[in-house]
Amino acid sequence: MTNVTTTAIDGILEANQEFVKTYEARDLLARPAKKVAIVACMDARIDPFRCLGLAEGDAHIIRNAGGRVIEALRSLSISQQLLGTEEVAIIHHTACGMATFTDAEIRTRLRENLGADADHIAFLPFSAKEIDESVRADLAIYRRSPIVRQDIPVRGFVYDVETGALREVLPD
């Protein structure tokens, strides 16, 4: 690499050097103060802390493509059993990248780009029109899991990337 090439990660490292100068979170506890765990999409437009009025130390934010619960169960289980969270919010959102492909398409792309056989992997896409259904499906997956608490509030939402508003989706 030449010294004129600056990657995004180089920029991140520089930003971190600035960050440590005013860092104040060292006295926070690992146990989330609001005792809540949030499962949300990794979408770059969503800042869960800001849009949900949270601060460092307040909550566990478990993020993945789509905010899918099946992929978050391990983290939720640890969050509840070891770190004391007692509520779960599942947040999917409008205009999600998960509505832009099918399993067949991403498997083909992986075969072409990486020579990988991903036919056994479910990438969990959903239709943009069925965003409420994807939330309900994930609420149901949560309810069927033996490794997460069933005696606590678990609620599902759709976040609107146009307005920033959160709308609750009630289970079936």
Q: Which is nearer to Zn ion, 68 or 107 (CB)?
A: 68
* Dist CA 166 CA 163 (whole Å): 9
Q: Which is nearer to Zn ion, 88 or 98 (CB)?
A: 98
Q: Which is nearer to Zn ion, 41 or 59 (CB)?
A: 41
Return the range that interacts with Zn ion (CB under 5 A); candidates 42-50, 105-113, 115-123, 133-141. 42-50
Helix (H) / strand (E) element for 93: namely strand 87-93
CB of 29 to Zn ion, least distance (A): 30
Q: Which is nearer to Zn ion, 96 or 149 (CB)?
A: 96
Helices (H), 20-130: 48-51, 73-83, 103-114
Q: Which is nearer to Zn ion, 69 or 96 (CB)?
A: 96
60 and 36 in contact (C-beta within 8 Å)?
Answer: yes
CB of 48 to Zn ion, least distance (A): 12
Binding residues for Zn ion restricted to 59-98, rule: CB under 5 A: 96
Q: How many CB atoms lie within 10 A of CB 33?
A: 14
Binding residues for Zn ion restricted to 97-136, rule: CB under 5 A: none
43 binds Zn ion, rule: CB under 5 A: yes
Q: Which is nearer to Zn ion, 43 or 138 (CB)?
A: 43
129 and 64 in contact (C-beta within 8 Å)?
Answer: no
CB of 22 to Zn ion, least distance (A): 31
Binding residues for Zn ion restricted to 12-41, rule: CB under 5 A: 41
Which tokens hold the place of 6? Answer: 């600056």
CB of 50 to Zn ion, least distance (A): 17
Question: Which of 136, 142, 127, 126 lies closest to 157 in space, CA to CA?
Answer: 136
Question: Which of 53, 138, 47, 44 lies closest to 88 in space, CA to CA?
Answer: 138
DSSP code of 41?
E
DSSP code of 27?
G
Count residues contacting Zn ion (CB under 5 A)? 3
Residues that bind Zn ion (CB under 5 A): 41, 43, 96
